[in-house]
Structure formats: structure tokens, C-alpha cells
A = this chain, B = another copy of it.
Amino acid sequence: MRVGVLTGGGDCPGLNAVIRGIVRKGVPVYGYSFLGFRDGWRGPLEALTKPLDIPAVRGLLPRGGTILGSSRTNPFKEPDGVAKIKSNLQQLGVDALIAIGGEDTLGVATKLHEMGVNVIGVPKTIDNDLNGTDYTFGFDTAVNIATEAIDRLHTTAESHHRALIVEVMGRHAGWIALHAGMAGGANAILIPEVRFDIEQVCRWVESRFRLDYAPIIVVSEGAMPKEGDEVLVSDEKDAFGHVRLGGIGDWLAREIEKRTGKEARTTVLGHVQRGGTPTARDRWLATRFGLHAVDAVHAGQWGMMTALRGTDIEMVPLSEATKELKVVDPSLYAEAEVFFG
């Protein structure tokens, strides 16, 4: 059997570890050969391939990124996209596909499966907002990077009696903010799931200063004040003439300065959260996802994806992962609120 492998969407520490796990088990145990597809769904769409054998995966375990490249190409938005993929798979002699990706990539995988392509999915997002699995790989690495940054900011905040805001990834779900904020000892954590009250945030800032400590606020990029989106909109325009919304972190710093009279500074962690070597836990999870994905190929469990449940890897329907986002539960957020202010 010949198995194609592709990685789609934003990159994520652990992608290479999944690829390695697939190949290191599939070749000797099942006698499979593998073909890498480049740049997500663009690979099978345009027959862009890369050899994928055991020598090709040597040394991959600790490496961030993906040797297969990635893209956000969606074959359902390309003319004859699905037909081209089917034809390319046939011509290349590829019997099954392992698609490693997030909501979009697995959404395509789900539809292709329904159209008769043999697909196994591996869920991937540093945001941890995919359903059906306790955690996704890459998330633990992102949380550790953000936590280390918060650790560093504590001392600088206190030396200068400043509020420091840390903007982390998370457009629709606050998992990174919640975990890193809890682990870093933040004095407020603002997430997309719960609209925040800027007046309340300022009270937390002030109560913290009264204790002679400097507040750290961790905010998801997708968090929003109660007042709504409009407060963020200004008539600023960027170099291309587009209206600049400005990041929520910058908005918070300006509001806190204006309302409390204290200095505030923002750090936007950005892409460092998604690059580089994975943590031990992410390597472990990604490797196991790879091993179980190739087992699923062997078992012909098409349309299923790997999932972590407790300490076990299980196979769940791809549709489960993509039906709705996994957001932070209010009771979990309430646990963290003890530490606010």
C-alpha cells in the first residue's frame, strides 16, 4: 500500500514528529511506502510531492515546522479541485491519505472521505480548540513559551511599577491565555469566550498596585470588551489605506493608561509561539498520533482521526472534530478568577 501524507494550515510544533511516527512504523511493521505531498492540499491538487522514507525522517523529532510545507489551499474552492486530487492520487498510485491539520484541513478531509477518498486525519492546532480530543499537540509548547515570557515580564513590571499586557494566540478560544495565565501567575486573563469589562480590569490593576506588585494581564488576540467591537475601531489607516483595528493588547494598554494613570506596555508574542522545538509532551503526543494514524490506515478506519482521551489514543469520526469549536468552559474560567486582581 502506498500512503500519502500532507500537513495543512498554520504550522505547529510536533508536525514533523507525527510524520516521523507514521513512517517509522508504517515501513517496517506494515510494509507501506509513503509519499509526501507538499504545502497542504496544494500537494495532491497539483501533484507536488516529496519522497518520504526512513532516511527522510531521521532527526525530525525535535524539529519545529513541517518538512512537507503547508498552505491554506482549499481544493473545494479550486475548479475541478476534487477531480484533480482523485486523478493525481490514482496516477501516483496513492491508496490512502493521512491529512494532518486543523479545522479547515480536516474539513476538506471529511468531505473527500464522503466522496470516496481513503482518508485518516490527525488533528493539529496550537490553539487547542478542536473537538473530539482532550488536547492537540503544539498547544503545550505554545503555553510553555508564553509562560516563560510571562515569567520574564514579572520582574520588569515590578521594577518599573508598570502594568504589562501579554497578547497570546487564540482568535476564537482562550486556551493558551487561560493555561499560560494560570501557569504564569497573571492577575487577569481575558479570553474570547467572555466579554470583559474594562472598568473591572482597571480595578484589578489598581488593587494589584496597592499591594506594591505590578499587574500582568494575559489576553487572547480574540478577546473583546463588553462595549463591543466598535471601541477598537478608529479612523487610523495603515500604509495600504486600510482602517487599522489595532490589536486588543495595544487597546488595553491605552485604556489602562488613560483610566488608571499608570504606565502600561504590551508584548505581542506572535509567531514565536508556534515555531521551534516541541516540548517533551508534544513530541510524545505527536509521535503517538503518528503511530495510531498508520495503525488506522492498516485497519481501514477511513474518515476517522486520532484523538487523545485521558492517557489513551482513540479513533473518532473526523466530523466530530470539525462540527464546532472547543471553547473554554465557564467553570474552568471561574477557577482562574480566584487569582485575578
Contacts and interface: CB of A to CB of B under 8 A. Distances in A.
Given A11-B159, A338-B25, A338-B29, A272 B309 contact: no
A78 interface: no
Contacts of A254: 238-240
A76 interface: no
Interface stretch (A60-68, A105-113, A316-324): A60-68
Nearest to A295: B335
Interface string A278-295: 011101100110010000
Nearest to A156: B275
A36 B293 CA distance: 41
Interface in A151-173: 151-161, 164
A274 B134 CA distance: 27
Contacts of A4: none
A237 B144 CA distance: 36
A272 B64 contact: no
A306 interface: no
B183 A64 contact: no
A270 interface: yes
A220 interface: no
A206 interface: no
Instruction: Count copies of this chain in the complex.
Output: 4
Interface string A12-34: 00010000000011001100000
A160 B180 CA distance: 26
Contact of A335 (B62, B135, B239, B291): B291
A271 interface: yes
A136 B80 CA distance: 52
Contacts of A154: 64-65, 275-276
Interface string A209-238: 000010000000000000000000011111
B156 A274 contact: yes
Interface in A167-186: 179-180, 182-185
A244 interface: yes
B283 A183 contact: yes
A25 B334 CA distance: 12
A10 to B, nearest CB: 8
Given A280-B179, A291-B335, A164 B61 contact: no
Interface in A291-325: 291, 309-311
A231 to B, nearest CB: 10
A81 interface: no
A279 B184 CA distance: 10
A152 B64 contact: yes
A47 interface: no
A125 interface: no
10 contacts: A10-B160, A11-B155, A11-B159, A65-B154, A69-B158, A140-B280, A182-B284, A183-B281, A267-B270, A291-B338
The 3 closest A-B pairs by CB, nearest first: A65-B155, A152-B276, A64-B155
